[in-house]
């Protein structure tokens, strides 16, 4: 999910390569940390679903999924993969009449500017049921960078706290991992589970 015009263009122009590089990444370690915390048949919002890889896994494991992304090309790819409608919109513009048991925002909120992230966390939290859980991940750091045509907001523990401080969310768990893509293991990520 991207909200930066350059980042959206990047994904629209490089969708096939992005999907091929991410569709088969083994996400088991992250799924095992998050999914057991959810009720059976939980309804998950996949916020910034990219290729649809995670949505497909959730559906295959008995969860209901609503998926969204800002890239038209990725929305089309994800829709085909999961065989259901995927919403094309920014985080700031997404709204559902349903409340979700969980939100999954894997490597997607990092494309929202640091100035906009507190509002985005507030908006997404409003879509969660009480005690709902929210997984998100950021490249580890405390700055904003533009790289390869994409905008990234990096986060560490302290910076993440500032992003959620005005929301109804609090940190349940956080941990650091290497990138799960082969050859990029030295890139560090912060993974966070929040609760409403």
Q: What are the extents of the domains in the chain? A: 5-195
Tally the residues of the chain: 196
Helix 117-125 and helix 157-164, axial crossing angle in degrees, nearest 10: 60
Q: Which residue has the tokens 């096939």?
A: 16
Q: By three-state DSSP, how is residue 22 classified? A: helix
CATH homologous superfamily for the domain 5-195: Vaccinia Virus protein VP39 (3.40.50.150)
Query: Which H/E stretch holds residue 173?
Result: strand 170-178
The predicted structure's pLDDT at residue 147:
83
Ranges assigned E (strand) in 7-143: 43-47, 64-69, 86-88, 100-105, 128-139
- Judge contact between 163 and 117, C-beta under 8 A: yes
The residue among 101, 97, 111 whose CA lies nearest residue 48 is 111
- pLDDT of 11 reads 80
Question: How does pLDDT run across 109-125, given as a tens digit for each residue?
Answer: 999 999 999 999 999 99
Nearest to 138 by CA among 122, 161, 167: 161
**What does the alpha-carbon distance between residue 17 and residue 4 come to, in Å, rounded to a whole number?**
20
pLDDT at res. 10:
81
Q: What pTM value is reported for the model? A: 0.92
Q: How high is the pLDDT of residue 3?
A: 42
Predicted local distance difference test score (pLDDT) of residue 53: 97
Regions of the chain with pLDDT less than 50: 1-3
* Residue pointed to by tokens 């890139």: 187
Predicted local confidence at residue 60, as pLDDT? 97
Place of tokens 């992304």: 69
């Amino acid at each position: 999910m991207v909200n930066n015009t350059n980042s959206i263009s990047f994904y629209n122009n490089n969708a096939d390569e992005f999907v091929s590089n991410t569709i088969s990444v083994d996400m088991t370690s992250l799924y095992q940390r998050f999914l057991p915390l959810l009720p059976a048949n939980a309804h998950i919002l996949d916020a910034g679903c990219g290729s649809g890889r995670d949505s497909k896994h959730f559906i295959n494991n008995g969860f209901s999924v609503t998926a969204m992304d800002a890239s038209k090309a990725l929305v089309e790819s994800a829709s085909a993969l999961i065989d259901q409608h995927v919403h094309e919109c920014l985080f700031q513009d997404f709204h559902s009449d349903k409340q979700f048991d969980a939100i999954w925002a894997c490597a997607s909120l990092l494309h929202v500017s640091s100035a906009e992230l507190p509002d985005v966390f507030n908006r997404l939290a409003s879509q969660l049921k009480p005690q709902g859980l929210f997984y998100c991940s950021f490249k580890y750091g405390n700055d904003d960078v533009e790289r390869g045509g994409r905008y990234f907001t990096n986060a560490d523990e302290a910076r993440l706290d500032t992003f959620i401080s005005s929301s109804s969310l609090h940190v349940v768990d956080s941990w650091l991992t290497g990138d799960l893509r082969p050859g990029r293991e030295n890139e560090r990520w912060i993974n966070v589970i929040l609760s409403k």
